[in-house]
């Protein structure tokens, strides 16, 4: 409960500072990404794809959604394998505020689902995510970002730490690399972004 109180306090503080500021975002909040995803958990390595969409709805507010699927055929001996699949989905809303000419602070709240399938059996959990972070343009073409959050799925709660880098190839297209860590799960992403 203390974790939730701390996150609520940070979100309240961020909303109260400059919520009506009319500043241009130094980084893009209108984009779609598609790419490759690798998930490492409990000795398994799953490979798949990820699709992300983020869209600003006001100067300071944005919405986002993401879907990913990663899978692998796990050898269980005697020339037999089990198909393991992990589906993840989220849908959320966020607040952003320019803290310098090149850096945005952001905070998000989201609905989260995860579905793990092994052969014909599946287990799915619903929950929520809360996150704070920064995105900053180091140069005209290079953006870096970091985030810290809490993910609650079913009865489990985990802290999430993530970093990402985005290199602008053209005005609309860029390449993104990302890494996320929580407890015993590591997630890697390499994607192409289209900004609109």
By three-state DSSP, how is residue 25 classified? coil
pLDDT score recorded for residue 89: 98
pLDDT exceeds 60 at position 2: no
Q: Specify the pairing of strand 121-137 against strand 156-168.
A: unpaired
pLDDT score recorded for residue 94: 98
**Cβ-based burial of 12 (10 A; exposed 0-12, middle 13-18, buried ≥19):** exposed
The three-point CA angle 144-95-182 to 5° equals: 55
pTM of the model: 0.83
- DSSP state letters, 154-195: TTEEEEEEEEEEEEESSSSEEEEEEEEEETTEEEEEEEEEEE
Tell me the Cα Rg of the chain: 18
- Span of 8-22, 113-127, 181-195 with lowest mean pLDDT: 8-22
Contact of 194 with 31, CB cutoff 8 Å? yes
Q: How confident is the model at residue 11 (pLDDT cuts 50, 70, 90)?
A: very low
Token pair of 2, please? 């203390």
Which sign does the torsion angle of CA 71, 144, 160, 1 carry?
A: negative
**pLDDT tens readout for residues 70-99:** 999 887 777 678 899 999 999 999 999 999
**pLDDT tens readout for residues 136-172:** 999 999 999 999 999 999 888 999 999 999 999 999 9
Domains and CATH numbers, the chain: 2-195 (2.40.128.100)
Euclidean distance between CA atoms 123 and 149, whole angstroms: 24
pLDDT score recorded for residue 25: 58
By three-state DSSP, how is residue 57 classified? coil
Contact of 128 with 112, CB cutoff 8 Å? yes
In angstroms, the Cα distances linking 24 to 16, 27, 76 are 18, 9, 54
């Amino acid at each position: 409960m203390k974790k939730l109180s701390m996150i609520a306090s940070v979100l309240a503080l961020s909303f109260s500072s400059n919520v009506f500021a009319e500043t241009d975002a130094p980084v893009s909040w209108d984009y779609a990404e598609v790419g490759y995803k690798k998930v490492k958990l409990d000795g398994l390595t799953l490979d798949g794809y990820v699709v992300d969409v983020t869209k600003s709805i006001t100067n300071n507010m944005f919405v986002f959604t993401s879907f990913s699927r990663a899978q692998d055929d796990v050898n269980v001996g005697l020339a037999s394998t089990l198909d393991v699949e992990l589906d993840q989905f989220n849908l959320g809303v966020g607040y952003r505020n320019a803290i310098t000419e090149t850096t945005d602070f952001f905070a998000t709240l989201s609905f989260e689902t995860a579905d793990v399938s092994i052969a014909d059996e599946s287990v799915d959990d619903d929950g929520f995510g809360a996150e704070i972070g920064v995105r900053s343009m180091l140069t005209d073409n290079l953006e870096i970002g970091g985030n810290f959050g809490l993910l609650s799925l079913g009865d489990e709660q985990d802290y999430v730490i993530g970093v990402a880098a985005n290199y602008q190839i053209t005005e609309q297209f860029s390449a993104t690399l990302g890494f996320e860590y929580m407890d015993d799960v590591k997630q890697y992403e390499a994607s192409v972004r289209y900004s609109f």
